[in-house]
């Protein structure tokens, strides 16, 4: 394939997106009003409703084969396609998800989670607005503008919108395998990742993996008076604290022997891309909510972005002993914690699980009982950013945002990306998204920058043209 010159989308397509932009925001608001929380304990009928709403948007945009697909035990998928570009034209498979995280603590939302609200700061606030309902609507806006003004698309398009991404995409790989021929494509476009900063279009080329282990520690068979027995008798919370403290050194770096042995060296291209990124420490600290006086954790030989994207990190993500409200000067019998390790892309998740379990099991403080249960083990993912699909994406992002894109890693994990691209024969995967540092996806006051939403819609329109050149 010869490299091709830029082929921007026609003016009428871009004008149409701009003209309808306010209506598109209203569609996003309507979709985000549906509390499509996929987690257990929330009403599955709402996920069903959001699937129907997405299907309605696809039909209205002029897509074909629109279907709400149900798989035993999973929330519904929505699929659609437009294949009239013919067998010689390339096919893009566009992925997004319509389920959302639970809303969290209502009292921490400035406006209610499921009443999406535009604010003066140019952002739309509400659960799911950026993760990932904007990821659906930006493509709807682009596809509709093409079909409305040109009557056709420059390439074939297939869409899959999942309903259980936020609970682990358990059925996705099987679903793709079962319907393999339906989803055959030349390039995958995933719209569910981050931008380095507001206004900076970013191509994500790696994801970290994740491993977690639950620790239950028992010191005595019932709680006892800390005055009558304290001294010689061990307690579970102190012993658990001792055990957990061994996991990291004084800088906060992981202290498990051998854990870094399979962390891959960065390629020259990754190193160059990393070195080219701007880093605003004050903004980073603000977006992370770091309080005054708190310092960065980990090995300071590595930059902050390198530590987040390309190095393992460890956090205690749950800790249970005795709530203060019910404390009664007792030695605690049992305490629990969840230890989470984010893996560098390329690290072996099963190996890290084994090292973590062995480390926690060896030499329990004061000989107390330690029980361990591996919870999650998902490897990371990475790709090179070479080839015509990536070149097309860079041109499309530059045209839509009016500035060059950057290449970034992602510290989070999207478990299905690896299986997704391998089930489809290792096709290139373009990870594009709208989550900027202030967006607070998964947290309270989740928000979307509306100017970036518009630029991403324009980029999507350009991408269709660029992939077809
Ligand atoms: Zn998401």
pLDDT in tens, 210-236: 999 999 999 999 999 999 999 999 999
Going from the Cα of 97 to the center of ligand 1, the distance in angstroms, rounded, reads 7
Going from the Cα of 91 to the center of ligand 1, the distance in angstroms, rounded, reads 23
pTM across the whole model: 0.90
Going from the Cα of 194 to the center of ligand 1, the distance in angstroms, rounded, reads 10
User: What is the chain's mean pLDDT, rounded?
Assistant: 95
Going from the Cα of 435 to the center of ligand 1, the distance in angstroms, rounded, reads 9
Binned at pLDDT 50, 70 and 90, residue 6 comes out as confident
Helix (H) or strand (E) holding 49: helix 44-61
Going from the Cα of 5 to the center of ligand 1, the distance in angstroms, rounded, reads 33
CA–CA separation, 304 and 446 (whole Å): 24
Going from the Cα of 365 to the center of ligand 1, the distance in angstroms, rounded, reads 40
Q: For residue 62, give the DSSP letter.
A: T
For position 7, what pLDDT does the model report?
A: 87
* Statement: residue 135 has pLDDT above 80: yes
Percent residues over pLDDT 70 in the chain: 99
For position 168, what pLDDT does the model report?
A: 84
3-class secondary-structure state, position 147: helix
Phi-psi region of 404 (alpha: psi -120 to 50; beta: other; left: phi over 0): beta
For position 176, what pLDDT does the model report?
A: 85
User: Per this entry, what is the length of the chain?
Assistant: 469
Contact predicate 163/75, CB 8 Å: yes
Binned at pLDDT 50, 70 and 90, residue 3 comes out as low
Spatial CA neighbour of 58 closest among 130, 116, 141: 141
Going from the Cα of 162 to the center of ligand 1, the distance in angstroms, rounded, reads 10
Helix-, strand-, coil-residue percentages of the chain, each rounded to 5: 40, 25, 40
The gap from C-alpha 25 to its chain's centroid, in whole angstroms, comes to 22
* Statement: residue 353 has pLDDT above 90: yes
For position 435, what pLDDT does the model report?
A: 96
- The Cα diameter of the chain in Å comes to 83
Going from the Cα of 166 to the center of ligand 1, the distance in angstroms, rounded, reads 7
Going from the Cα of 459 to the center of ligand 1, the distance in angstroms, rounded, reads 19
Going from the Cα of 132 to the center of ligand 1, the distance in angstroms, rounded, reads 5
Going from the Cα of 29 to the center of ligand 1, the distance in angstroms, rounded, reads 17
Contact predicate 329/284, CB 8 Å: no
* Statement: residue 1 has pLDDT above 70: no
Contact predicate 371/236, CB 8 Å: no
Going from the Cα of 398 to the center of ligand 1, the distance in angstroms, rounded, reads 23
Going from the Cα of 319 to the center of ligand 1, the distance in angstroms, rounded, reads 26
Binned at pLDDT 50, 70 and 90, residue 4 comes out as low
Going from the Cα of 31 to the center of ligand 1, the distance in angstroms, rounded, reads 15
Taking the CA atoms of 167, 170, 175 and 177 in sequence, report the sign of the dihedral they define. Answer: positive
- The average pLDDT across 315-342 equals 96
* Statement: residue 451 has pLDDT above 80: yes
Going from the Cα of 431 to the center of ligand 1, the distance in angstroms, rounded, reads 12
Going from the Cα of 302 to the center of ligand 1, the distance in angstroms, rounded, reads 28
Going from the Cα of 168 to the center of ligand 1, the distance in angstroms, rounded, reads 10
Spatial CA neighbour of 238 closest among 368, 328, 371: 368
Going from the Cα of 225 to the center of ligand 1, the distance in angstroms, rounded, reads 48
All residues at 6 or more sequence positions from 266 whose CB lies less than 8 Å from its CB, including other chains = 274, 306, 310
* Statement: residue 467 has pLDDT above 70: yes
Q: Which residue has the higher pLDDT, 425 or 246?
A: 246
Going from the Cα of 440 to the center of ligand 1, the distance in angstroms, rounded, reads 12
Cα dist from 250 to 247, 297, 387, whole Å: 10, 9, 43
* Statement: residue 330 has pLDDT above 80: yes
Going from the Cα of 164 to the center of ligand 1, the distance in angstroms, rounded, reads 10
For position 173, what pLDDT does the model report?
A: 83
The beta-strand segments (E) located in 98-186 are: 117-118, 123-125, 156-162
Going from the Cα of 133 to the center of ligand 1, the distance in angstroms, rounded, reads 9
Contact predicate 215/358, CB 8 Å: no
């Amino acid at each position: 394939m010869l490299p091709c010159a830029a082929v921007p989308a026609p003016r009428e397509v871009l004008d149409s997106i701009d003209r309808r932009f306010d209506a598109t925001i209203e569609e996003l608001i309507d979709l985000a009003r549906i509390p499509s929380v996929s987690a257990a304990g929330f009403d599955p009928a709402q996920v069903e409703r959001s699937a129907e709403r997405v299907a309605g948007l696809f039909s209205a945009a002029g897509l074909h084969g629109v279907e709400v697909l149900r798989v035993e035990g999973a929330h519904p998928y929505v699929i659609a396609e437009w294949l009239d570009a013919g067998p010689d034209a390339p096919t893009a498979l566009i992925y997004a998800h319509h389920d959302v995280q639970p809303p969290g603590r209502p009292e921490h939302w400035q406006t209610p989670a499921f009443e999406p609200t535009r604010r003066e700061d140019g952002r739309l606030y509400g659960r799911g607005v950026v993760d990932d309902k904007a990821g659906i609507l930006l493509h709807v806006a682009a596809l509709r503008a093409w079909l409305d003004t040109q009557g056709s698309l420059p390439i074939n398009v297939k869409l899959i919108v999942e309903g259980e991404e936020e609970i682990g995409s358990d059925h996705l790989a099987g679903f793709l395998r079962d319907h393999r021929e339906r989803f055959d494509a030349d390039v995958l476009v995933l719209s569910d990742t981050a931008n380095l900063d507001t206004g900076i279009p970013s191509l994500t080329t790696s994801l970290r993996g994740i491993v977690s282990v639950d620790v239950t520690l028992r010191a005595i068979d019932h709680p006892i008076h800390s005055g009558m027995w304290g001294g010689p008798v061990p307690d579970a919370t102190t012993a658990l604290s001792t055990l957990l403290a061994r996991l990291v050194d004084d800088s906060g770096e992981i202290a498990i022997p051998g854990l870094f042995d399979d962390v891959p060296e960065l390629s020259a291209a990754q190193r160059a891309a990393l070195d080219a990124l701007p880093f605003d420490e004050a903004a980073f600290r603000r977006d992370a909510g770091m309080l005054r006086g708190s310092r960065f954790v980990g090995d300071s030989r590595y930059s902050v972005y390198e530590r987040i994207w390309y190095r393992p990190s460890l956090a205690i993500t749950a800790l249970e002993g005795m709530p203060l409200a019910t404390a009664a000067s007792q030695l605690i019998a049992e305490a629990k914690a969840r230890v989470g390790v984010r893996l560098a892309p390329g690290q072996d998740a099963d190996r890290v699980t084994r090292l973590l379990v062995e480390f926690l099991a060896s030499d329990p403080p004061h000989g107390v009982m330690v029980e361990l249960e591996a919870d999650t083990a998902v490897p990371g993912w990475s790709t090179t950013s070479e080839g015509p699909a990536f070149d097309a994406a860079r041109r499309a992002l530059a045209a839509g945002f009016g500035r060059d894109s950057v290449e970034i890693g992602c510290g989070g994990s999207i478990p299905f990306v690896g299986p997704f691209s391998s089930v489809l024969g290792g096709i290139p995967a373009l990870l594009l998204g709208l989550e900027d540092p202030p967006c607070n996806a998964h947290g309270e006051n989740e928000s979307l920058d509306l100017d970036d939403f518009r630029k991403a819609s324009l980029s999507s329109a350009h991408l269709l043209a660029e992939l077809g050149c």
